Amino acid sequence: MIFTGYYEHTIDAKHRLAIPSKFRSRMDPERDGTALVMVPGQPANTLWLYTERHFEKLAERAASDLIPDEDQLRFEQVFFTMAEILEPDSQGRILVPERMMARAGLGREVVICGVRDHAEIRPRENFEQEVDDAWRRYREYQLKAREAYQQHRRQTGPEAGGT
């Protein structure tokens, strides 16, 4: 599933957050599962949401070694310890764990952004300024992304990189 667009929302007093209907309507229980998995995001003031099945695929792809290096071990200890499997209620809301809101420094006013394979929950207060800043550098980001993609295709062959 591809997540796109952005939506302004409020986390209510009971820590419930409505998942945008455009996201929910595109979720296929067979392909995506019914739950969302919330993890700490990057930058640190964000929380990321993956569909249940996609998160499982990411975890399998990043299977750790029998004896991982220290950085990998520390990352996995934080990442998987903080990960929360969240089942949306009948109104499409998830319960955002208070501890995750506190660690990310999120308030009640948020923006839910689609970022290809996941959705990000960001503070609303600085969102427009961040988008404006990124827009000014969009062409630069686009060229760097294209270069990285082409380098990946050269290293792995066209069959791994698609068309």
Q: Where are the alpha helices (DSSP H) in 27-137?
A: 29-32, 52-61, 70-82, 98-104, 127-136
Look at residue 156 in the predicted model and tell me its pLDDT.
86
One-letter amino acid at 143 equals: L
3-state secondary structure of 112: strand
Lookup result for tokens 């959705």: 119
Look at residue 68 in the predicted model and tell me its pLDDT.
73
Look at residue 163 in the predicted model and tell me its pLDDT.
47
3-state secondary structure string, 120-153? EEEECCCHHHHHHHHHHCHHHHHHHHHHHHHHHH
Please provide the CATH number assigned to the domain covering 6-125. 3.40.1550.20
Residue 159's CB is within 10 A of a number of other CB atoms, namely: 7
CA–CA separation, 112 and 4 (whole Å): 10
1 and 28 Cβ atoms separated by less than 8 Å: yes
3-state secondary structure of 72: helix
Instruction: Among 10-19, 130-139, 142-151, 154-163, name the one with the lowest average pLDDT.
Output: 154-163
pLDDT band at 61 (very low <50, low <70, confident <90, very high): confident
Look at residue 159 in the predicted model and tell me its pLDDT.
63
Residue 22 main-chain phi, psi, to 5 deg: -65, -30
Pick the closest to residue 17 from 42, 44, 49, 45 (CA basis): 49
One-letter amino acid at 98 equals: E
Domain ranges of the chain: 6-125, 127-163
CA–CA separation, 142 and 144 (whole Å): 6
CA–CA separation, 47 and 40 (whole Å): 5
